[in-house]
Amino acid sequence: MGEKVVAGQFDLSDRQRYRDKLRTCLTGLERLLAEQRFDRPKNLMGLEIELNLVGTDGMPKMLNGEVLERIASRDFQTELAMFNLEVNIAPHRLGGRVFDRLAEELRTSLAYADRKAGELDAGIVMIGILPTLDRDDLVSSNLSDVDRYTLLNDQIVAARGEEFVLDIDGVERLTCTSKSIAPEAACTSVQLHLQVTPDRFADVWNAAQAVAGVQIAVGANSPFLFGRELWRESRPPLFQQSTDTRPPELQAQGVRPRTWFGERWISSAYDLFEENLRYFPALLPICDDEDPLKVLDEGGVPSLAELVLHNGTVYRWNRPVYDIADGVPHLRVENRVLPAGPTITDVIANAAFYYGLVRALAEESRPVWTRMPFEAAAANFDAACRHGIDARMTWPRRGRHGGTVEVDAVSLVRDELLPLAEAGLAAWGIERADRDLYLGVIEERCRRRANGASWQAATFHRALEAGLSRDAALAATTRRYGELMREGEPVHTWPVGLPEPVRLG
């Protein structure tokens, strides 16, 4: 939802006018697809990472405006809350040593931003959920001072009509309420973009959905919220509940949540945009002056502004994106599954695994989505969020007999998916050095059954055993995490526990 949005009130006619305009945009998209107006294959990928601002004590710092002023780079932007930033890396063509180049760009950018934050006694931490966040940190007064966040909060709160209920039952249970969508800001993620042609879109999106659970299993990094140990990847349930416009009665009727895994395999990008219109009321009914069908009649390319804005308020874990570059429209699959961190090497390893895997799966003669129910992919995603690296998955059985089998995520990755990812990266033209380095990180996580979430939980429990209070243990774990993140060695190599005895807190 990166466009500038001006806060204001909507009258009764705005939503109907917006709905009509959305339908016109959808017709425009249908025409663009039928007329084959989209960009040719370019093998372009993009990367965004949401970040946390943290003090030397490990606690969140509400300073994003001041830090951004010092960074003074378009690559860095605000995010929902004042302790959040986002860094955007320019699109790169998949091939060669692209992952090493991306890693170097990120190291340079984040080191610079960290130095600038340090001028305000803060630092940058890449982590799925900051363990030291307190309920008092996630209130509407700590939302970033940007109109679109204020307006989005107001509209989601109005649509729900009552407080948001957070209820996550994991290792421990968290139940609380919120008067705003601010708890969503606890979720900091990595977004992986892949530009695809319309005829390839469905295969890539289906492949991305099929492996979302596997991505979480190897990449989980969000085990704590408000001092409680919850799921190994607590972002998805938190994000869903903190943006849920449905009171219990609508949930009981089966109304879909705005943060949504989906419910079926697709045959076209059109399917997803059409579902978003059919199932989800407008949150921000702001109409543009453009007549998309007139623009098409005149040979131009419509911005489809209403469709793009509405699409940005439906939080699919794999989101379709319509965009225009250099006057030519294109489609992207935006993968929003992964948490931020722990290190740049880990982020790039997760990206390499994803891009290789979706390429290989999208090109299989008997695609995985023709051999596995969609419900199994959704259940895999849920199991991975709950159990992380120890999750068990349902996956199509090898050979001619068909059916599915339940298997450990680590066995599935090591025995079947890493070879596929290797083949996919080779098909992209990625050099062997990058393939070996970054897929090797994924393999070692599986071999050691270690990822960011397992390290955080194990280190926290060691701190408790050493006599620290829960709050002190979470703060010490966060500080140690930040130290190791800056050293940059991948998380599977991190020693569990704190480096030396810490004074009781």
| 50: β partners | 86
Q: What's the pLDDT tens digit per position in 266-307?
A: 999 999 999 999 999 998 888 999 999 999 999 999 999 999
What amino acid occupies position 275? E
Of the segments 246-255, 393-402, 422-431, which one has the largest average pLDDT value? 422-431
Q: How many CA atoms lie within 13 A of 246 on its CB side?
A: 17
Q: What was the pLDDT predicted at 150? A: 86
Q: What was the pLDDT predicted at 220? A: 98
- List CB contacts of 498: < 8 A, sequence separation 6 or more: 459, 462, 463, 466, 476, 477, 480
% helix, strand, coil for the chain, step of 5: 50, 20, 35
What pTM did the predictor assign? 0.95
Give which of 192, 149, 189 is closest to 313, Cα–Cα.
Answer: 149
pLDDT at 249 over 90: yes
- Work out the average pLDDT over 61-71: 95
CA distances from 204 to 210, 218, 269, 289, 422 (A): 10, 20, 10, 33, 17
Report the chain's mean pLDDT, rounded to a whole number: 94
CA distances from 238 to 74, 186, 313, 333, 359 (A): 29, 8, 16, 23, 30
pLDDT at 260 over 60: yes
Residue by residue, DSSP assigns 479-493 as HHHHHHHHH---GGG
Q: Residue 83: which pLDDT band, with cuts at 50, 70 and 90? A: very high
Q: What span, in angstroms and rounded, lies between the C-alpha atoms of 271 and 274?
A: 5
Q: Residue 7: which pLDDT band, with cuts at 50, 70 and 90? A: very low
Q: What was the pLDDT predicted at 5? A: 45
SS3 of 334-393: EECCCECCCCHHHHHHHHHHHHHHHHHHHCCCCCHHHCCCHHHHHHHHHHHHHHHHHCEE
What amino acid occupies position 322? Y
Q: Residue 2: which pLDDT band, with cuts at 50, 70 and 90? A: very low
- Work out the average pLDDT over 233-261: 94
Q: What's the pLDDT tens digit per position in 124-151?
A: 999 999 999 999 999 988 888 887 788 8
Three-state secondary-structure class, residue 206: helix
Q: What was the pLDDT predicted at 402? A: 80
Three-state secondary-structure class, residue 176: strand
- Work out the average pLDDT over 103-115: 97
* Tokens 């959040």, located at residue: 84
Tokens of 386: 């709950």
SS3 of 42-102: CCEEEEEEEEEEEECCCCECCCHHHHHHHHCCCCEEECCECCEEEEEEEEEECCECHHHHH
Q: What's the pLDDT tens digit per position in 8-28?
A: 566 777 888 999 999 999 999
Higher per-residue pLDDT: 108 or 12: 108
Q: What was the pLDDT predicted at 3? A: 45
CA distances from 25 to 28, 74, 294, 333, 337 (A): 5, 30, 11, 19, 27
- Work out the average pLDDT over 364-383: 97
Q: Residue 457: which pLDDT band, with cuts at 50, 70 and 90? A: very high
Q: What was the pLDDT predicted at 1? A: 38
Q: What span, in angstroms and rounded, lies between the C-alpha atoms of 344 and 341?
A: 7
- Work out the average pLDDT over 49-65: 96
